[in-house]
Amino acid sequence: MTPYILLGLSLLANIVQYIIKRRDDEAKELRDRRFHIYGEYFAKLDNVNAQLYAAQTSDEVLQEVRSLMDFAALHPNEKQTLLQKYAALMQRLTATLIDWMKEQATLIDEISKLRLVASPQVVAVLDQYVESVRSQVQASVTMAIQTSVLPPGQFDPEVMKEYTTTLNALNKMRTDLLTLMRRDVGTRDK
């Protein structure tokens, strides 16, 4: 009877070992899938934001700003021409911002991919993140309209304050989201 008990215990140990290995393999596969999808999404997001920054701070734009300032200093009485040059610069920057907003909208649509693999904690923050992005895009639209249509210094400071507040909230939400995603893929913040 002892050989049968040993055989039974050996079989049971193998079954338990198989179950544990399978569970660990499935968890590793999920972590790997999450890592890939999370990384892909944030790479796109970082690229979109980097493109906006690069477009706003390009040598060409900075030269145009310098030229505008020089013109204002050399020709203080030519207000109409100065306003036209200012409006042209603001329209150009607004067009760049509109392109960024379109890219943000596309990225919001891609969040469904994240929801498919994310933990419930990440999904909850994703929903808040989407609302924050939408608020930021709306604040960007309002600010862009004001800065491109109104003369310099005439826009509502509350609009700038709202823009800054929504941007800060979005940045905090992004940090929280990244922290939760790092936990999802097995990376612990220390």
Q: Does 73 fall in a domain?
A: yes
Q: Does 43 fall in a domain?
A: yes
Q: Does 146 fall in a domain?
A: yes
Number of domains in the chain: 1
Q: Does 11 fall in a domain?
A: no
pLDDT recorded at residue 1: 61
Q: Does 16 fall in a domain?
A: no
83-114: per-residue pLDDT in tens? 888 888 888 888 888 888 888 888 888 888 88
Phi, psi angles (nearest 5°) of residue 75: -130, 65
- Whether the model clears a pTM of 0.85, i.e. scores above it, the answer is no
111-155: per-residue pLDDT in tens? 888 888 889 999 998 888 888 888 888 887 777 777 777 776 677
Q: Does 21 fall in a domain?
A: no
41-77: per-residue pLDDT in tens? 888 888 888 888 888 888 898 898 889 889 888 888 9
Output the six-digit token pair for 137. Answer: 């895009």
Distance between CA atoms of 7 and 128, rounded to whole angstroms? 55
DSSP assignments along 16-70, one per residue? HHHHHHHHHHHHHHHHHHHHHHHHHHHHHHHHHHHHHHHHHT-HHHHHHHHHHHH
Q: Which residues constitute the domain of residue 65?
A: 31-184
Q: Does 14 fall in a domain?
A: no
